[in-house]
Structure 1
Amino acid sequence: MKQHRNVVLFIAASLDGYIATKDDSLEWLFQVDGEGDNGFATFYETVDTVLMGKRTYDWIMEQDMQEFPYKNKQSYVFTRSSVTEMENVKFISDDVSDFIQHLKHQEGKDVWIVGGGELLHTFLQEKLLDELILTVAPTILGDGIPLFKKGDYQLDLFLKNTKRFNQFVELHYKVKR
Structure 2
Amino acid sequence: MDRKNVLYIAVSLDGMIAREDGSVDWLDEFEGEGDNGYSEFYQTVDTVILGRSTYEHIKILTPVFPYQDKTCYVFTETPDSYHDKHVTFIDEDIKAFTGRLKQQKGLNIWIAGGAELVNTFMKEDAIDEYIITVIPVVLGSGIPLFHEQNTETKLRLTDMKRFGQAAQLHYKRA
TM-score band, normalised by the shorter chain? over 0.9
Structure 2 counterpart of 1:170: 168
CA RMSD, aligned part only? Answer: 0.9
Q: Distance in 1 between matches of 2:150 and 2:6?
A: 21
CA contact 1:83–1:91 (8 Å) conserved in 2: no
Mapped pair 1:80 → 2:77: yes
Segment drifting more, 108-117 vs 92-101: 92-101
Q: Distance in 2 between matches of 1:163 and 1:67?
A: 30
What are structure 1's unaligned runs of at least 5 residues?
none
Mapped pair 1:127 → 2:133: no
CA contact 1:79–1:92 (8 Å) conserved in 2: yes
Residue 47 of structure 1: which of 45, 48, 58 is its match? 45
Alpha-carbon distance, 1:152 to partner? 4.2
Structure 2 counterpart of 1:69: 66
Alpha-carbon distance, 1:92 to partner? 0.6
CA contact 2:119–2:150 (8 Å) conserved in 1: no
Q: Distance in 1 between matches of 2:30 and 2:150?
A: 33
Residue identity opposite 1:35 in structure 2: E
Count residues with an aligned counterpart: 173
Structure 2 counterpart of 1:94: 92
Normalised by the length of structure 1, the TM-score is 0.95
Q: Distance in 2 between matches of 1:16 and 1:67?
A: 31
Q: 1:49-97 CA deviation, whole Å, 9 max, x = no partner?
A: 000100000000011x341100000000000013233110000111111
Of all paired residues, the percent bearing the same amino acid is: 47
Secondary structure of the corresponding residue to residue 81 of structure 2 = coil
Alpha-carbon distance, 1:151 to partner? 1.2
CA contact 1:13–1:135 (8 Å) conserved in 2: yes
Normalised by the length of structure 2, the TM-score is 0.97
CA contact 1:164–1:170 (8 Å) conserved in 2: yes
CA contact 2:30–2:136 (8 Å) conserved in 1: yes
